[in-house]
Amino acid sequence: MTEIDALLGGAWHDDAAWELLTRLTELPERMGGHPGERRAAEYVAESFEDGGVDGIGIEEFGMNRWDRGRAEFALTDPVERSFETLALPYSAAGEVSGELVDVGYGTPEEIEDADVAGKIAVASTTTPPEKGRFVHRMEKFGHAVAAGAEAFVFANHIPGQLPPTGALRFNGEAAAPGVGVSKETGAWLTEYAQRGGRAKLSVEASTETGTSQNVHGHLGEGDEEIVLVGHYDAHDIAEGALDNACGISVVAGAARILAEMELDCRVRVAGVGCEEVGLIGAEALADSLSLDSVRAVVNVDGAGRFRNLKAYTHGSERIGDLVETVCGEWGQPVSFSRDPHPYSDHWPFLQCGVPALQLHSERARPAGGARGRGWGHTHADTRDKVDPRNLREHAMLAALLVRELARCEVPRVDEDDLREQLRESDAEIGMRAAEVWPDHWE
């Protein structure tokens, strides 16, 4: 038996990842900039320290804190009835009355075909199967507002009376009110829109200056480093077990394994805040580091949720080959998404030339089935959905992947190539609508 075999064998009996996930999901909330998020940071720091991470610190950064008030949504014509709804983070406060317009999946083509000016646009949370990439909520909102919509309604595609949440923009108040409603409500709204229905939407909310924090330390030594990062914040409507207590727990589990390995360069282990409201913690972390010394970033957002690992390689063929080799050697299935995207904590690093690997996970989806977030961003994102085996296995794989990245050179990301890849994958138009296309790329 090799030393690695012994380490991984021990990891099968290690419940530290499950214990961290449990502590995080017991908190009342972990919304960015709120007290529960600060407490979560302290739990993450304790878990890192227990796992052998050195030099742990908690560093504050500024952000715009959004506070949820009351949200109401009511049909006024052809009948009067109210529906359960949730304000979407960074929604503007206000009251809007107008005609309902169903814009389907909320793609640019559908919004262009619909007359949304002065009206309330209703879009599904999912993406059509024929679309080559996932269409993010912020894109749909941005396109709708740009076309003149007075308000935005995000209708879940997962049954169970689960209105979804999710930020409308990064780190600042959106241009219009936006709310989430359940799939069941969405079905009614689609019918009422076809009948010329009208509705009234009201949001009470505020956006104020606040602070959040990152937790990070290191393993090993060296002039260069790999950044292993996951976000520990969550939306305030649920336990945030899948998104992303699973991910940060996988980071903590991987760190415990890496602490017992001989590493060829330094590994920075980080838990960041405020991912859900704009990748603010990841941006603060990237700004605090010398990125010329960062070989790669491994962003654990989505790993540990489901059985099989999924790797987002963000245009790096070298990273894709490395993941395929490591998972093949250890007999673990892995699927790939190779196009870059800007909607998780790797983005502040990737756009500055740092090669990025995002570790996610997936369960089987019917052939041709619509894609979406599943239980995430709803009341149903709870600990009972998590299998501790997935946390252990993905922590082991994350550790093996980081170890291999520390041994090899990965080409830096060329800015022109990254920009072209985003254009080829049809991401530019959505990024511009979401206001995340880098200003210096204009």
Check residue 371 and give its pLDDT: 54
pLDDT at site 265: 96
Cα 201 from Cα 189, distance rounded (Å): 13
Q: Higher-confidence residue: 414 or 127?
A: 414
Q: What is the pLDDT, as a whole number, of residue 368?
A: 45
Confidence check: pLDDT of 110 > 80: yes
pLDDT band of residue 1 (cuts 50, 70, 90) is low
pLDDT of residue 130: 79
- 48-64 tens-digit pLDDT: 999 999 999 999 999 99
Token pair in block for residue 269:
């282990």
- Whether residue 209 is predicted with pLDDT greater than 50 in this model: the reply is yes
Domains for the chain: give ranges and CATH numbers.
3-64+210-424 (3.40.630.10), 68-206 (3.50.30.30)
User: ∠ at Cα 181 (180, 182), nearest 5°?
Assistant: 135
Q: With cut-offs at 50, 70 and 90, classify the pLDDT of residue 3.
A: confident
Cβ atoms of 284 and 61 closer than 8 Å: yes
pLDDT of 366 higher than 50: no
> Is the distance from CB of 98 to CB of 181 less than 8 angstroms?
no
Nearest to 441, CA basis, from 415, 404, 403: 415
d(CA 56, CA 51): 11
pLDDT value of position 369: 46
Share of the chain above pLDDT 70, in %: 98
Q: What are the strands, taking DSSP E only, across 78-196?
A: 81-83, 86-87, 94-102, 120-124, 151-155, 178-181
Distance, CA of 293 to CA of 339 (rounded, Å)? 24
The pTM for the full model equals: 0.96
Taking residues 107-120, report their average pLDDT. 95
Give the count of beta carbons closer than 10 Å to the beta carbon of residue 129. Answer: 12
Closest by alpha carbon to 102, among 196, 213, 26, 11?
196
Contacts for 287-291: CB closer than 8 Å, 24+ residues apart: 287/348, 288/59, 289/227, 291/349, 291/352, 291/353, 291/354
H/E stretch holding 9:
helix 3-11
Dist. CA 248–CA 176, nearest whole Å: 32
Strand, helix or coil at 44?
Answer: helix
Task: Kindly compute the dihedral angle of the four CA atoms of residues 40, 43, 47, 53, in this order, to the nearest 10 degrees.
Answer: 80
Q: Scan for tokens 């024929």, then name that residue.
A: 130
Give the pLDDT score at 134: 86
Using 50, 70 and 90 to split pLDDT, how confident is the model at 372?
low
Residue 140: its H or E element: helix 137-146
Of 141-145, 349-353, 360-364, the range with the lowest mean pLDDT is 360-364
Q: What is the pLDDT of residues 309-353, one digit of tens each?
A: 999 999 999 999 999 999 999 999 999 999 999 999 999 999 999
pLDDT attached to residue 364: 62
**How far, in Å, are 31, 65, 434 from residue 425 at the CA level?**
32, 33, 16
Pairing of strands 308-312, 356-362: antiparallel
Q: What is the pLDDT of residues 245-261, one digit of tens each?
A: 999 999 999 999 999 99
Q: How far apart are CA 20 and CA 2, in angstroms?
A: 29
**pLDDT 10s digits, 210-267:** 999 999 999 999 999 999 999 999 999 999 999 999 999 999 999 999 999 999 999 9
